[in-house]
Amino acid sequence: MATTWVFVEETEEGPATVGLELLTKARAFGGELAALYLGAGSDEHFAALGAHGASKVFHMAPSDLLPTASAAAAIADLAGQHSPDLILFGLTYTDRDIAGRLSARMGKTILSNATEISVDGGAVTVTNEIFGGMTLVDTTFESDAPYLVIARAKAFVAEESGGGAPEVESVAMPDVGHSGSARVTASHAERLEGPKLEEAAIVVAAGRGIGAEEGFAVINELAMKLGAATGATRAIVDAGWVPYSKQVGQTGKTVKPDVYIAAGVSGAMQHLVGMKDSKVIIAIYKDEEAPILGISDLGIVGDLHKVLPKLIEALSNR
Amino acid sequence: MRVAVCVKQIPDPASPYDLDPETHFVVRPTDQVLDDTDRYGVEIGLQLAEQTEGTVTLISMGPSGNLQGIRQALAMGADKAVIVDDASLQGSDSLATAGVLAAAIKREGFDLVIAGTESTDGYAGILPQQLAELLEVPALTFAKKVAVEGDTVKIERQTQTGYDEVESPSPALVSVTAGAVEPRYPTFKGIMQAKSKPVDTVTAGDLGVDVATKQKIVSIRPAPERASGELIEDDGEAHLKIVALLEQAKVI
């Protein structure tokens, strides 16, 4: 692959982890590797991009406008000048917004939800998972480069390569008129307790089986005891019992903790795809036919309201 | 306000769907249901139309079958539907689909387009953004709350750490997350009325749109299986098994 670009959004902690994962992956493709960085930027951030393999950074600094339409136009212009072969995005809100608009702007198809990207000469094959991760689908492009791919978080592992500071080129955000007129008027951060869901070594997740919103209390208590993050299925997020930021699954977060404890989670495909690669899976569910029990290292057919209080007590007595 | 709501009929997720071994496309039965996540967009569309004395037009692409899924959304209260049913569009990628939907929406006219964030069966999750680019409007995405004040569309946009308040002038596209609102259940009257509401079935040619799909599935294979674990019935001591496994995993 002659040239690969990786879109990386700035987060509060610096370059988004999924962007660093994709830079690491793209190093294996050989050729030129550049980052498309959206954020205020700093020498420290650029150094992190360099350390993960980017020899060049195209830096886009946003205003108070929602940057997606303008960033897509900027990237399309850059692609016109530099003819990259492959442009990678993570499966995050901003990445999806920019990748989607870029795809339509350039008239290029896009492959989403990638868990593997293979490059053979100039050909790119993208793998994604269907049926809750039980089946893999390999898809190729039938158009000319650049090939656009959106990959799932944690599909690859971020590792530094020892690369030095990259060359940084500032890229103007073009005025795209009405398409770019969405404005961010305020930002709100949800108060987070305990470790971050995507990074926690242990995740305790709940589904409909907890019975009611109040049922989440025992999940919180166990998580506190274990220093774990709490997670949830789409069903109880949709029901309004817990915030969306806790959703694990196809439309939520992807997690790969050392231990995933699923309580009252039946294991809908939508959920499994976000957690099935956890190292150890422990599940408690009342119905032995539940799919979650089929992928668990320890599956317990039983009542979580009986098992979890005893577990909390046993952990307290240690 | 003229609200266009993108909806999709999908095979009932309760029964596993099949892939055609030749084409690898989803086999679509005659009786498909409304994608559950679309009910949120329909509900928001109805609320905004009620508030502005506007209309809600459903826009869909795919085999119409017996229109069961479309009728579900009409029964909620939408005024009419346009469905692009064209065998040549089978297996379309999201960009081709966006091209077709954009043509249908432009033909109907719109002030606001509403879509779900991704379908349940395909879930590429980029169609709303592609559609917004093709319609040359702002994309207010991942909305968990939507309001219209005069010509301004305001949303709360889900972010990794919380949410942003985002607004733009109309016309605009909004993608809504599941759970954004409580979708109404069709009333008996709504179900009866839905049977006689206009459903305009058109082809790509009728819309004057010519799209091509530029991706191809080359193989479908089973994922490596996870080694099966231990399945036990809780005898009152199951929690001790968990403690032992947590110790073995060295997390306690």
Torsion of CA B181, B187, B192, B198, to 10 degrees: -20
| Residues of chain A with C-beta less than 8 angstroms from the C-beta of B126 | 96, 99-100, 103, 110, 112, 150
Q: Which of A267, A256, A318, A315 shows the shortest CA–CA distance to A291?
A: A267
**B148-187 residues touching A, CB cutoff 8 A:** 157-169, 172, 177-179
pLDDT of B233 higher than 90? yes
Q: Which residues contact A28 (CB under 8 A, 6 or more apart)?
A: none
What pLDDT score does B126 carry? Answer: 95
pLDDT tens digits, one per residue of A116-140: 999 998 899 999 988 778 889 999 9
Q: What phi and psi values does residue B199 have, to the nearest 5 degrees?
A: -125, 115
Closest residue of B to A192, CA-based?
B161
Query: What are the tokens at A161?
Result: 């390569």
Interface of A with B in 191-230 (CB under 8 A): 192, 201-202, 226
- By DSSP bridging, strand A135-141 and strand A14-15 are unpaired
CB contact under 8 A, B95 and A107: yes
Out of A270-279, A282-291, B76-85, B200-209, least confident range: A270-279
Question: Using CB atoms, which residue from A97, A306, A315 is nearest to B141?
Answer: A97
CB within 8 Å of chain A, chain B residues 27-86: none
Residues B173 and B171: their CA atoms lie apart, in Å, by 7
List CB contacts (< 8 A) between A294 and chain B.
228
Confidence of residue B24 (pLDDT cuts 50, 70, 90): confident
For A228, the closest chain B residue by CA position comes to B251
CA dihedral of A56, A58, A59, A62, whole degrees rounded to 10? -160
Residue whose tokens read 């964030």: B117
Mean pLDDT of A100-113: 97
The nearest alpha carbon in chain A to B93 belongs to: A109
β-bridge mates for residue A151, sequence order: A90, A114
Mutate to test the interface with B, among A310, A316, A318 (most CBs of B within 10 A): A310
Q: Which residue has the tokens 């902690």?
A: A13
| CA dist list (Å): B6 to A69, A169, B38, B100 | 21, 40, 8, 12
Specify the pLDDT at position B86: 96
Out of A69, A141, A282, closest to residue B242 by CB: A282
Is pLDDT at B228 greater than 90 in this prediction? Answer: no
Contact call for residues A265 and A209 (beta carbons, < 8 A):
yes
Q: Is the pLDDT of residue A192 over 90?
A: no
| Cβ contact B246–A244 (<8 Å) | no
Q: What is the pTM of this model?
A: 0.91
Question: Which region among A210-214, A268-272, B76-80 has the lowest average model confidence (pLDDT)?
Answer: A268-272
ipTM of the complex: 0.93
Please tell me the distance in Å from A258's CA to the nearest CA on chain B.
7
Decide if pLDDT at A193 tops 80.
no
Q: In this model, does residue A89 exceed pLDDT 80?
A: yes
Q: Which domains does chain B have, with CATH numbers?
A: 2-207 (3.40.50.620)
Q: Which of A20-29, B126-135, B162-171, B227-236 has the lowest mean pLDDT?
A: B227-236
Q: Which of A183, A237, A296 sits opposite B229 (nearest CB)?
A: A296
Q: Looking at per-residue confidence, does B63 or A193 come out higher?
A: B63
Let me know if B224 is exposed, middle or buried by CB neighbors in 10 A (0-12, 13-18, 19+): exposed
Query: Which residue in A282, A292, A318 has the most chain B C-beta atoms within 10 A of its own C-beta, making it the best mutation to test that interface?
Result: A282
Give the mean pLDDT of B226-251: 93
Nearest to A71 by CA among A120, A27, A37, A21: A37
Query: For position B224, what pLDDT does the model report?
Result: 86
Cα–Cα distance measured from residue A115 to residue A127, given in angstroms and rounded to the nearest whole number: 6
Asked whether the beta carbons of residue A179 and residue B222 sit closer than 8 angstroms, the reply is no
Asked whether residue B122 carries a pLDDT value surpassing 80, the answer given is no
For residues B41 and B114, the answer to whether their CB atoms sit within 8 Å is yes
Residue in A closest to B219 by C-alpha: A138
Radius of gyration of chain A from its Cα atoms, rounded to whole angstroms: 21
SS3 A77: helix
The tokens of A1 are what? 């692959």
Q: Is A37:A59 a contact under the CB 8 Å cutoff?
A: yes
Nearest to A7 by CA among A27, A37, A44, A31: A37
Does pLDDT of A11 surpass 90? yes
Which member of A140, A179, A310 has the closest CB to residue B215? Answer: A140
CB pairs below 8 Å between A and B: how many? 271
Residue contact B125–A113, C-beta within 8 A:
yes
Comparing CB atoms, the residue among B144, B157, B217 nearest residue A139 is B217
How far is residue B245's CA from residue B243's CA, in Å, rounded to a whole number? Answer: 5
Cis peptide before A146 (omega within 30 of 0): yes
Identity of residue B226: R
Q: What average pLDDT score do residues A96-109 get?
A: 98
The fraction of chain A above a pLDDT of 90, given in percent, is: 87
Please check whether residue B130 touches A, CB under 8 A. Answer: yes
User: How far is it, in rounded angstroms, from Cα B156 to Cα A184?
Assistant: 10
Per the CB < 8 Å rule, is A190 touching B162? Answer: yes
Residue B119's pLDDT band, with cuts at 50, 70 and 90, is confident
What whole-number distance in Å separates Cα of residue B78 and Cα of residue B85? 19
**Residue B49 distance to chain A (closest CA, Å):** 22
User: What domains, with CATH codes, occur in chain A?
Assistant: 3-180 (3.40.50.620), 202-316 (3.40.50.1220)
- The whole-angstrom separation of Cα A13 and Cα A33 is 23
Say yes or no to pLDDT of B168 above 80: yes
CA B77 to chain centre: 17
- Across the range A264-293, mean pLDDT stands at 94
Residue A121's pLDDT is 85
* DSSP code per residue over chain B: -EEEEE--EE--TTS---B-TTT-PBP--SS-EE-TTHHHHHHHHHHHHHHHT-EEEEEEES--TT-HHHHHHHHHT--EEEEE--GGGTT--HHHHHHHHHHHHHHH--SEEEEESS-SSS----HHHHHHHHHT--EEEEEEEEEEETTEEEEEEE-SSEEEEEEEESSEEEEE-TTSS-PPPPPHHHHHHHTTS-EEEE-HHHHT------EEEEEEEEPPPPPP-EEEE--S-HHHHHHHHHHHTT--
CA angle A103/A109/A113 to nearest 5° reads 90
**Given an 8 Å threshold on Cβ–Cβ distance, is A136 in contact with B222?**
yes
Q: Is pLDDT of A47 > 80?
A: yes
Whether residues A184 and B123 touch (CB distance < 8 A) is answered with: no
Q: Rounded CA gap, B249 and A160, in Å?
A: 27
Interface subset of A 236-295, CB within 8 angstroms of B: 237-240, 244-245, 250-251, 258-259, 261, 270, 276, 279-282, 284, 288, 293-295
What integer pLDDT is reported at residue A247 of this predicted model? 93
Hunting for tokens 């702007």 — which residue is that?
A105
Write out pLDDT tens, residues A150-187.
Answer: 999 999 999 999 899 999 999 999 999 999 999 999 99
pLDDT at site A131: 79
CB within 8 Å: B223 and A136: yes
Is the pLDDT at B214 greater than 90? The verdict is yes
Pairing assessment for the beta strands A32-38 and A14-15 based on DSSP bridges: unpaired
Q: Tell me the average pLDDT of chain A.
A: 94
Express each pLDDT in B65-98 by its tens digit: 999 999 999 999 999 999 999 999 999 999 999 9
Nearest to B215 among A139, A178, A234 (CB): A139
* Position B46 confidence tier, pLDDT thresholds 50, 70, 90: very high
Residue A252 has pLDDT above 90, yes or no: no
CA distance linking residue B174 with residue B142, whole number of Å: 8
CB A52 within 8 A of CB A6: no
pLDDT band, very low/low/confident/very high, at B2 (cuts 50, 70, 90): very high
Quote the tokens at residue A284: 């408690």
Q: Tell me, yes or no, if A11 comes closer than 8 A to chain B by beta carbon.
A: yes
pLDDT for residue A255: 95
Q: What is the pLDDT of residue A1?
A: 74
User: What is the mean pLDDT of the segment spanning B235-248?
Assistant: 96
Q: What is the pLDDT of residue B188?
A: 96
